[in-house]
């Protein structure tokens, strides 16, 4: 009874089951005919079950567990197996399932990247800043989108498109909701900073509220000790608040150590507020205001003077900043720019870095579409990437591949250059990026931001498509495309229609001695699991084609060549026993895929001494792998022969 035909995925899962489960398989590779697995516990392997799998021709349990599938199909089964596990060929399988590959790979790369970075006080500060603002991101997004809708409605009222009498109150309500976040941002920053630095959160909120100067008499304002000018509410902004709360944490801890427990709850908060509050009003606010104003002015100057050039530099460098965690330092700058000018001109340019990644990911998807593992990662990471969440694409796709990370940066630079050239494209809130930032673009200049996004998408795509695809990935893609149309579990080319009752003559592939397959040292060949044929024990390394036909396949490790005859027979020349493990070193291939050959064509030069030194066999196996199309075959000669001497014949059905 014929075995039921299974899909590649089903065969892969059945092999895992027979090998004792995925957790029992350490790694997977394949040669021209066999899936080769290193297993963790040989006692869990069920050879009988493996042999019963439809599509499996045989099993050999040697140093590796070898499941014979046959040429053309074995690479697809092996690829399906590693795709299920979420690893590459030759990589160790995780102790579990292959789910969540994108997040797992992203986490792995991110952890590896962080491990390479040296700890420093500066990076510790960046981490603290991140911890302060990350909990506020949802509020930034919600309030920012509400503000964006209010801004759109305000623009429509101004343009006369909608009636102010009907819409103004709605706009006012939205502005109230928006101001609940942004008007009291310094308080939220103080609370979060206190939690990060280990101070009392409520005291932190009070220190944040100090910069609002709510108790100051406007007719007799407090003077700036350095300039003599009146202090302005909010001067120094969140930068000053963060520094003040850091000082608060130090003072509060010291006071807890020295103040008696009986009065600690009264004296410590009072003294903390007095000391830090006075420092904040008379020293920190003026200094922080000077620093933040200088940073905002400097960035605005760069943008105003540099235009497209500055936009390109900022857009191109932002991904490396994200990779090293340096981007967090920009958050207070964005907020300060919004507070002083109503918008941040920096955020839309920096958002182009994520758009460049999206373009690069699309190029990888298109160029390497046969790489199922990579395309699955891209499909999982693209939606959030388009919405501005770039970590899955950075750590799961572009950074592990190397080149695409660079070309994604170039795409971000191109988008930044477009926005820089247009000028005046600012965001009224932070939090969203990518397409989600469009509603938050100020003054109706969303079109400029959209043009920048499109330019970054296209720039990242073009740069990656032509210059960013890794060479090894290209080679894998070309190998996948070079074979073949699958039909009835046999790989065929355009000219593999089997001619009826056609006889093909086979020859010795080298000087030496011809032997029947039964004498082969490898049971896969000796038991004719792969088909009928013969082998030659060579006396020199000049190897010739065994039959006239066309080269259909050259295995990457150079140890095997597939030839298709004019009558449709598929012939495998397998050079040596277990020589796949030598990674092609003893073999020099002298033909190319698609080339027509005859028994007089030398197809390879083989270093027999190197094969023997590696402990491998030198038998040159010649097999017909589509025996279903063969009616008769006969080995006409054994013993000593010369290369290209006729030794075997086969006739098709």
Positions annotated as catalytic residues are 31
Burial 3-13 (b: 16+ CB within 10 A, else e): eeebebeebbb
Dihedral angle sign, alpha carbons of residues 192, 194, 197, 199? negative
Strand pairing class (587-589; 560-564)? unpaired
Contact present, 321 and 377 (Cβ < 8 Å): no
**Cα distance between residue 378 and residue 50, in whole Å:** 33
Q: Is 232 helix (H, G, I), strand (E, B) or coil?
A: coil
Burial class (CB in 10 A: 0-12, 13-18, 19+), 624: buried
Q: In this structure, how many other beta carbons lie within 10 angstroms of the beta carbon of residue 44? A: 14
Which H helix or E strand runs over 383? helix 372-386
Distance CA 300, CA 28 (A): 55
Yes or no: say if 236 and 286 are a contact pair by the CB < 8 Å rule: yes
Instruction: Dig out the tokens for 634 from the structure.
Output: 């006969």
List all residues 6 or more positions away from 463 whose beta carbon is below 8 Å from its beta carbon: 359, 360, 407, 408, 410, 411
Total Cβ atoms within 10 A of residue 501: 10
H or E segment and range at residue 11: helix 8-18
* Interior angle at CA 288, CA 286 and CA 290, nearest 5: 70
Smallest Cα–Cα separation from 57: which of 44, 46, 70?
70
Max Cα distance, the chain (Å): 116
SS3 402: coil
What element of type H or E holds 618? strand 617-624
Provide the CA 182 distance to its chain's centre, in angstroms.
36
- Residues 420, 455: Cα–Cα separation, whole Å: 12
3-state secondary structure of 68: strand
Q: Concatenate the DSSP letters of all residues of 95-141 into one string.
A: SS---SHHHHHHHHHHHHHHHHSPP-HHHHHHHHHHHHHGGGHHHHH
**What string of H, E and C letters represents the secondary structure of 302-359?**
HHHHHCHHHHHHHHHHHHHHHHCCHHHHHHHHHHHHHHHHCCECHHHHHCHHHHHHHH
Structure tokens at 185: 């941002």
Structure tokens at 33: 């005919």
How many residues comprise the chain? 653
How distant, in Å, are the alpha carbons of 59, 83, 92, 575, 628 from that of 28? 15, 11, 8, 22, 29
Three-state helix/strand/coil letters over 450-517: HHHHHHHHHHHHHHHHHHCCCHHHHHHHHHHHHCCEEECCEEECCCCCCCCCCEEEEECCCCEEEEEH
The pair of structure tokens assigned to 288 is 């922080």
């Amino acid at each position: 009874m014929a075995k039921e035909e299974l899909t590649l995925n089903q065969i892969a899962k059945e092999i895992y089951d027979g090998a004792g489960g995925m957790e029992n398989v350490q790694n997977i590779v394949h040669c021209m005919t066999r899936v080769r697995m290193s297993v963790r516990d040989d006692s869990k392997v069920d050879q009988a079950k493996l042999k019963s799998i439809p599509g499996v021709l045989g099993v050999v349990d040697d140093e590796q567990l070898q499941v014979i599938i046959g040429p053309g199909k074995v690479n697809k089964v092996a690829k399906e197996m590693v795709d299920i596990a979420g690893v590459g060929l030759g990589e160790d399988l995780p102790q579990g399932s292959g789910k969540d590959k994108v997040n797992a790979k992203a986490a792995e790369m991110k952890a590896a990247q962080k491990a390479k970075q040296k700890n420093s006080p500066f990076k510790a500060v960046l981490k603290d800043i991140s911890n302060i603002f990350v909990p506020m991101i949802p509020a930034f997004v919600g309030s920012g989108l509400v503000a964006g809708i209010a801004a759109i409605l305000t623009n429509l009222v101004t343009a006369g498109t909608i009636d102010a009498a009907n819409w103004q109150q709605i706009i006012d309500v939205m502005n109230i909701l928006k101001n609940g976040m942004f008007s009291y941002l310094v308080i939220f920053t103080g609370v979060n900073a206190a939690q990060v630095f280990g101070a009392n959160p409520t005291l932190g909120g009070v220190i944040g509220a100090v910069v609002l100067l709510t108790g100051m008499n406007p007719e007799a304002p407090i003077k700036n000790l350095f300039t003599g000018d009146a202090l302005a509410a909010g001067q120094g902004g969140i930068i000053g608040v963060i520094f003040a709360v850091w000082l608060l944490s130090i003072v509060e801890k010291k006071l807890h150590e020295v103040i008696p427990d009986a009065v600690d709850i009264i004296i410590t908060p009072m003294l903390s507020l007095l000391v830090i509050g006075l420092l904040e009003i008379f020293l920190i606010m003026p200094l922080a205001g000077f620093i933040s104003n200088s940073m905002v002015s400097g960035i605005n100057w760069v943008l105003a003077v540099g235009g497209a050039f500055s936009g390109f530099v900022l857009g191109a460098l932002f991904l490396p900043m994200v990779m090293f965690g340096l981007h967090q330092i920009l958050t207070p700058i964005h907020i300060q720019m919004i507070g002083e000018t109503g918008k941040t001109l920096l955020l839309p340019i920096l958002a182009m870095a994520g758009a460049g990644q999206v373009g690069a990911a699309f190029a990888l998807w298109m160029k390497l579409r046969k790489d199922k593992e990579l395309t699955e990662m891209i499909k999982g990471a693209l939606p959030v990437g388009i919405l501005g969440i770039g970590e899955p694409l950075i750590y799961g796709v572009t950074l592990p591949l190397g080149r695409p990370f660079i070309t994604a940066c170039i795409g971000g630079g191109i988008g930044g250059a477009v926005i820089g050239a247009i000028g005046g494209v600012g965001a009224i809130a932070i939090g969203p990026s990518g397409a989600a930032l469009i509603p938050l673009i100020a003054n109706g200049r969303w079109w400029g931001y959209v043009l920048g996004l499109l330019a970054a998408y296209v720039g990242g795509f073009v740069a990656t498509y032509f210059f960013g695809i890794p060479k090894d990935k290209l080679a894998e893609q070309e190998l996948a495309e070079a074979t073949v149309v699958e039909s009835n579990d046999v790989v065929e080319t355009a000219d593999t229609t089997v001619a009826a009752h056609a006889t093909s003559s086979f020859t010795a592939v080298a000087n030496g001695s011809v032997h029947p397959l039964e004498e082969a040292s490898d049971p896969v060949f000796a038991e004719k699991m792969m088909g009928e044929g013969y082998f030659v024990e060579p006396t020199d390394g000049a190897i010739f084609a065994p039959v006239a036909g066309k080269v259909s396949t050259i295995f990457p490790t150079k140890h095997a060549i597939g030839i298709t005859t004019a009558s449709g027979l598929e012939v495998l020349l397998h050079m040596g026993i277990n020589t796949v493990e030598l990674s092609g070193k003893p073999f020099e291939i002298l033909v190319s895929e698609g080339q027509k050959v005859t028994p007089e064509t030398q197809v390879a030069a083989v270093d027999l001494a190197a094969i023997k030194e590696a402990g491998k066999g030198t038998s040159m196996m010649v097999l017909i792998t589509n025996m279903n199309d063969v009616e008769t075959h006969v080995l006409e000669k054994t013993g000593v022969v010369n290369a290209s001497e006729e030794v075997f014949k086969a006739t098709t059905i």
